[in-house]
Amino acid sequence: MSEKAEKKSTNSRGELFVPALMAGFLGVYLFQTADAPRVAMVWPYIIIGFTSLLLMIVLFNNREKLLPSAGSKESRKHYKKPAILIALTIVYLTALPFAGFTLSSFIYLVSVLFFLGVHSVFQLILVPGIICAFLYLSLIKAMQISLPSIELFGISF
Q: What is the mean pLDDT of residues 117-128?
A: 92
Pick the more confident residue, 102 or 30. Answer: 102
Q: What is the pLDDT, as a whole number, of residue 126?
A: 95
What's the mean pLDDT in 17-45? 74
Q: Give the span between the Cα atoms of 106 and 129, in whole angstroms.
A: 7
Closest by Cα among 25, 59, 58, 57 to 44 = 25
Going by C-beta distance under 8 Å and a sequence separation of 6 or more, which residues neighbour residue 135? Answer: 101, 102, 105
Mean pLDDT confidence for 119-133: 93
Q: Report the DSSP beta bridge partners of residue 151.
A: 156
Confidence grade of residue 128 (pLDDT, cut at 50, 70, 90):
very high
Task: Tell me the helices (H) and strands (E) count for the chain, helix number first.
Answer: 6, 2
- Is the Cβ–Cβ distance between 82 and 28 less than 8 Å? no
* Residue (of 106, 111, 78, 98) closest to 148 by Cα position: 98
129 pLDDT band, cuts 50/70/90, is very high
Q: Cα separation of 14 and 125, whole Å?
A: 29
pTM for the structure as a whole: 0.56
